[in-house]
Structure 1
């Protein structure tokens, strides 16, 4: 994994997806939402999540799972970001998630079942994706999204207020995921690695991973686009995604493919003086 471009001075808006920017601006227009989350909701929620995590997970470090620690350190160096804590948690559902608490070091959690499914390069793509949330300061709205799912139907008038806010938050999360997939690409500097990760999240298992075909998965992504040629197909896709916290994997793979071929991406790889030609790209190309 050596020889990658280190993106010295990288800023979030240099790789933020336009849909993420638009959805974030829409949330910021809601009166008092940011203040409510930062001052009342987030401190208590994050403290609970943090204590639960450190009590039941393993902290990665130089002496604990050192290979995964090395992947984290390299990813942080590439994205010009201070390393957060990284925990590994025993769990049968493949997933990874991020928290950034006020006054505490941010932390990332990766489930063991996800690690068992992936190659080292794909694990680093997961880490890069989660670091994208930290680089773009997504943590405030992510905390709210987790709580809204629990609050629906339990708060006064929750059946009226929560669904409307939850729909807007879920839309924001789906847009933010496109940005974090870009962060994964910047870390791996190989779009096929990110696409392979998304393929395994769609239908992989440790037993099936060696039989999966990346080219066939990319063709599948193009077939998904073709469904939109009819109004019925577009409606079906909208219904399918409206309740999800993440865009469907084939759509994420398509977006990574497009951005890997863009001038914006190529320019970012040349941010460091003399870095031209050092990219390791091998192709145009949470509930994680």
Structure 2
């Protein structure tokens, strides 16, 4: 039911993660972290000190997870509650990620906004953030020294981790909006975390909060000094500013991309396998040389209804059997990953599919295909070759001797010195010749010297 998370990952998230991985020292740090990382220790800690939420314990929260995970296409993670007055939720783990909510979060937010927070955390799982974010929290939280990783942590790595962790929140907010169908809940969560708790006696106004966010954006973008000041003030924060998060998510939810994702998932949820539009998960040129049948089936499975394969029997260098030679969508070859196309888009796949043995034979009536080249026949026993050619159906075979005065271990007696078929003395294997074509063979015989 889910869509590829690449469709809603924020551009700055992708860019920041690539930049983090490119920093010298990141790979050794990751390897060092993986040596000491033990997911079981978190399992033991959670089970011994936190309250696990399940169908038997606080089931109203556990039941919120199921439709979220189904929509995002992930396994339902374990959910825990911890006593902490600070409103927060976080996700950790790797193979079996888990979510922890604080009592302060439940106390601060209206009950109907908790699914948005859970969808945000599940968004981190869907976007494959969890390993790096767990690593980042340990490193930036001062735990690196406990595991002997401190010498590997440089200032550029710290700054890059902080920046990526802030950017990853934008993607998780988008996931929450995808689950909720709009930015409304995400904006309100940000507003209430900023300063409007659920028991506040005053009425909160999300539109006024968004207006505040727009003013902030204009203030920062309109001045290089303000931009520098923003960086100096917030460069060591793991989360972006609440108003900025609300603004970013709200703006994206106005896009056709967001509307297409929500419509697609709503159609899936309602059991409708026929979609108005379907996302492209790869740049179209990456399909070249891939298996045509598998690609066609994948396009059909994603919702496209008009996929055709055209066969080409012309052999091309480096092209595997069933490999895609060219592919177009409504005649276009410049389709990019993440684009949405109508479900009835005409996909035309040209694939290399050589003729079968029966098809080859039918295409060459009265002919035979030689299994060796002229060089391949050279040096073989002429009597064996004659039997093979007669078995193929050749009827016009002439043989002559070629006396040689040479050392016998260099030239084998009765081996072929020269062969020609249809007056052609250089031919490749699998060449077709008429069965009546003249075959001329000369073979070595040893003369006395």
Same fold, TM exceeding 0.5? yes
- Hey, what's the Cα distance between the residues in 2 that align with 1:78 and 1:50? 26
The alpha carbon displacement at 1:29 in A equals: 2.5
Residue of structure 1 equivalent to 2:116: 125
Which residue is equivalent to 1:216? 208
What residue in structure 2 maps to residue 283 of structure 1?
none
Counterpart position of 1:194: 186
Alignment of 1:50-61 (within 5 A): 50-61=43-54
CA distance 1:154–1:182, shift in 2 (3 Å): same
State how far apart, in whole Å, the 1-side matches of 2:144 and 2:2 are: 41
Q: Is the 8 A contact 1:152 1:159 kept in 2?
A: no
Partner of 1:3: none
Match of 1:165 in 2: 157
Q: Counterpart of 1:26?
A: 19
How far off its partner does 1:75 sit?
A: 0.8
The structural deviation recorded for 1:267 is: 0.9
Displacement after TM superposition at 1:118 (Å): 1.4
1:115 and 2:96 matched: no
- Does the alignment pair 1:17 with 2:17? no
1:141 corresponds to: 132
Q: Which moved more, 1:54-63 or 1:253-262?
A: 54-63
Q: Equivalents in 1 of 2:269, 2:45: separation in Å?
A: 45
TM-score by length of 2: 0.55
Q: Paired residue for 2:42, among 49, 56, 59?
A: 49
Report Cα offsets for 1:83-132 as digits up to 9, x if no partner: 01111111111111111234xx3210010110111123311111011011
Are 1:203 and 2:195 an aligned pair? yes
Where 1:108 maps in the other structure, the secondary structure is strand
SS for the counterpart of 2:100 is: strand
Residue 177 (1) aligns with residue 169 (2): yes
Distance in 2, matches of 1:185 and 1:266, equals 11
More strand by share: 2
Larger mean Cα displacement after TM superposition, 28-37 or 182-191: 28-37
Paired residues of 1:43 and 1:101 also in contact (CA < 8 A): no
Cα displacement string for residues 13-49 of structure 1 (whole angstroms, at most 9, x for unaligned residues): 0110011111122223346735753664475364443
Alignment partner for residue 100 of structure 1, among 65, 83, 93? 93
Question: What is the TM-score with the length of structure 1 in the denominator?
Answer: 0.83
Change (3 A) 1:139 1:207: same
The more displaced of 58-67 and 227-236 is 227-236
CA-based RMSD of the aligned residues comes to 2.7
Aligned 8 A contact 2:86 2:102 in 1? yes
Contact 1:87 1:108 in 2 (8 A): yes
| Aligned counterparts, 1:193-272, within 5 A | 193-208=185-200, 211-228=203-220, 229-272=222-265
Compare 140-149 and 46-55 and name the one that shifted more: 46-55
Gap change, CA 1:237 and 1:275, over 3 Å in 2: same
CA contact (8 A) 2:93 2:134 kept: no
**What does 1:145-156 align with in structure 2 at a 5 Å threshold?**
145-149=136-140, 150-151=142-143
- How big is the shift at 1:203? 1.1
Structure that is richer in helix per residue: 1
Please state how far the C-alpha of 1:216 moved relative to its aligned partner: 1.6
- Is contact 2:71-2:265 (8 Å) kept? no
Deviations along 1:136-178, one digit per CA (max 9) or x if unpaired, are 1111211221122215788989589432211111111111110
Shift of 1:271: 1.9
The residue aligned with 2:65 is: 72
1:264–1:236 Cα change, 3 Å: same
> Residues 139 and 189 (structure 1 numbering): CA distance in 2 closer, same or farther, change over 3 Å?
same
CA distance in 1, matches of 2:191, 2:14: 26
Decide whether the 8 Å contact of 1:200 with 1:209 is kept in 2. Answer: no
Q: Aligned pair in 2 of structure 1 residues 272, 111: CA closer, same or farther (>3 Å)? A: closer
User: Which structure 2 segments of 5+ residues have no match?
Assistant: 271-449
